[in-house]
């Protein structure tokens, strides 16, 4: 469907246009690496230096390509970017990648260099023109040098101690941003909804009514918990990370915690549904104790005692109120 597309095919580009495309791509990649460096500079200064070095490598290659273009075609470089060429590799938006953590950013950088090298190698194999083939081969070699430079820069800037320190920092940030709010939400949803759900269950012995009450309580608690978590701390002073992420973690886990023992009441038989809900509650409470032990370093039996005892008291209150 070449007639209908507004993008050029790579095979239709002239050697000048291929060179212009390489120049714009090198410029974009340098800006991406500098954005990564700026994003990581405070928490991961050593990795930020790696990306600073990689941006400088991209600048050197861009200057080399500009000099080559001026020598062969003159000083005016055609405006051609990767989004103008059909089938050319795309870059993920910086804002999408930079919020996913240090390992994701490193992996994205490695993928950027590998994509560029593979594309130029494949393009060189498709052309029969000697000059074009040489040009594309040189570009592929430049991208391979980029990969080696990245490995060298990482070796120079990241020793084992620094890498372990950065991993520990990333793990701590993951706990503060996702695990702690999620755990608080799971505990709130699992425990606070026990009383209204089982009070309605034993008061009405109507499974559908009990499910609707449980659904409403779970969703309402999730919305409330999510907004409360997001509004309570912007994360700038506490270092707990994005309030939106924390709000999502708390809200979703609160809702899931309540739905866990509300969903069994979709079963029409009351006692079958209630016994199933008992089992789900038991699993939920022990899962919370395990998460506290795994991520919060809380001794397992102390966590189990606190969570199970608290849940049992709320559950008993709901049953007593519903049976009264």
Residue 238 has pLDDT above 60, yes or no: no
Cα–Cα distance for residue pair 132/254, rounded to 1 Å: 60
Q: What is the domain count for the chain?
A: 2
| 51 shares its domain with 85 | yes
- Looking at residues 5-31, what average pLDDT do you find? 82
- Looking at residues 160-189, what average pLDDT do you find? 76
Answer for the pair 105, 97: CB distance below 8 angstroms, yes or no. yes
Residue 60 has pLDDT above 80, yes or no: yes
Cα–Cα distance for residue pair 25/82, rounded to 1 Å: 7
Query: Over pLDDT 70: what percentage of the chain?
Result: 80
Q: Residue 214 corresponds to which tokens in the numbers above?
A: 């449980």
Q: Residue 155 corresponds to which tokens in the numbers above?
A: 């070796």
Q: Decide which of 158, 185, 220 is a domain's last residue.
A: 158
User: Mean of the per-residue pLDDT values for the chain?
Assistant: 81
Answer for the pair 225, 188: CB distance below 8 angstroms, yes or no. yes
Q: Decide which of 131, 158, 185 is a domain's last residue.
A: 158
| 89 shares its domain with 126 | yes
Range scoring the smallest mean pLDDT among 69-73, 92-96, 182-186: 92-96
Q: Decide which of 101, 125, 158 is a domain's last residue.
A: 158
| 37 shares its domain with 62 | yes
Cα–Cα distance for residue pair 147/113, rounded to 1 Å: 6
Per-residue pLDDT, 223: 94
| 196 shares its domain with 294 | yes
Cα–Cα distance for residue pair 254/249, rounded to 1 Å: 8
- Looking at residues 57-81, what average pLDDT do you find? 87
| 100 shares its domain with 233 | no
| 129 shares its domain with 96 | yes
| 201 shares its domain with 109 | no
- Looking at residues 305-321, what average pLDDT do you find? 84
Residue 81 has pLDDT above 70, yes or no: yes
| 115 shares its domain with 222 | no
What is the pTM assigned to this prediction? 0.54
- Looking at residues 115-131, what average pLDDT do you find? 72
- Looking at residues 70-77, what average pLDDT do you find? 88
| 215 shares its domain with 286 | yes
Answer for the pair 33, 113: CB distance below 8 angstroms, yes or no. no
Q: Which domain holds residue 292?
A: 166-323
* 92, HSE (Cβ side, Cα atoms, 13 Å): 16
The pLDDT confidence band at residue 263, using thresholds 50, 70 and 90, is: very high
| 145 shares its domain with 171 | no
| 146 shares its domain with 205 | no
CA-angle at 121, arms to 119 and 126, nearest 5°: 95
Residue 157 has pLDDT above 70, yes or no: no
The pLDDT confidence band at residue 220, using thresholds 50, 70 and 90, is: very high
Q: Which of 36-45, 166-175, 249-258, 295-304 has the highest mean pLDDT?
A: 249-258
| 66 shares its domain with 143 | yes
- Looking at residues 215-231, what average pLDDT do you find? 91
């Amino acid at each position: 469907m070449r007639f209908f597309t507004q993008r050029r095919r790579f095979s239709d580009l002239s050697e000048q246009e291929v060179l212009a495309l390489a120049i714009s791509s090198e410029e974009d990649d340098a800006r991406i690496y500098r954005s990564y460096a700026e994003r990581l500079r405070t928490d991961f200064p050593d990795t930020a230096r790696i990306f600073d070095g990689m941006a400088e490598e991209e600048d050197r290659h861009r200057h080399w390509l500009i000099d080559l273009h001026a020598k062969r075609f003159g000083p005016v470089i055609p405006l051609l970017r990767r989004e103008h060429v059909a089938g050319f590799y795309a870059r993920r938006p910086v804002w999408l990648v930079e919020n996913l953590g240090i390992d994701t950013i490193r992996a994205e950088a490695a993928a950027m260099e590998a994509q560029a090298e593979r594309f130029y190698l494949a393009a060189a194999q498709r052309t029969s023109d000697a000059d074009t083939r040489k040009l594309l081969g040189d570009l592929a070699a430049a991208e391979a040098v980029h990969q080696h430079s990245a490995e060298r820069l990482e070796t120079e800037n990241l020793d084992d101690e620094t890498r372990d320190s950065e991993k520990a920092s990333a793990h701590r940030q993951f706990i503060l941003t996702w695990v702690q709010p999620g755990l608080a939400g799971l505990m709130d949803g699992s425990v606070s909804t026990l009383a209204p759900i089982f009070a309605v269950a034993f008061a009405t012995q109507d499974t559908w009514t009990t499910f609707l009450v449980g659904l409403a309580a779970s969703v309402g608690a999730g919305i409330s918990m999510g907004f409360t978590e997001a509004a309570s701390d912007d994360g700038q002073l506490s270092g707990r990370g994005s309030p939106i992420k924390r709000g999502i973690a708390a809200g979703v886990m609160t809702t899931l915690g309540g739905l866990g023992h509300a969903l069994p009441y979709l079963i029409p038989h009351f006692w079958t549904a209630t016994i199933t809900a008992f089992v789900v509650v038991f699993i939920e409470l022990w899962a919370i104790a395990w998460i506290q032990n795994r991520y919060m370093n809380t001794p397992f039996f102390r966590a189990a005692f606190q969570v199970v005892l608290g849940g049992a008291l709320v559950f008993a209150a709901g049953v007593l109120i519903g049976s009264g």
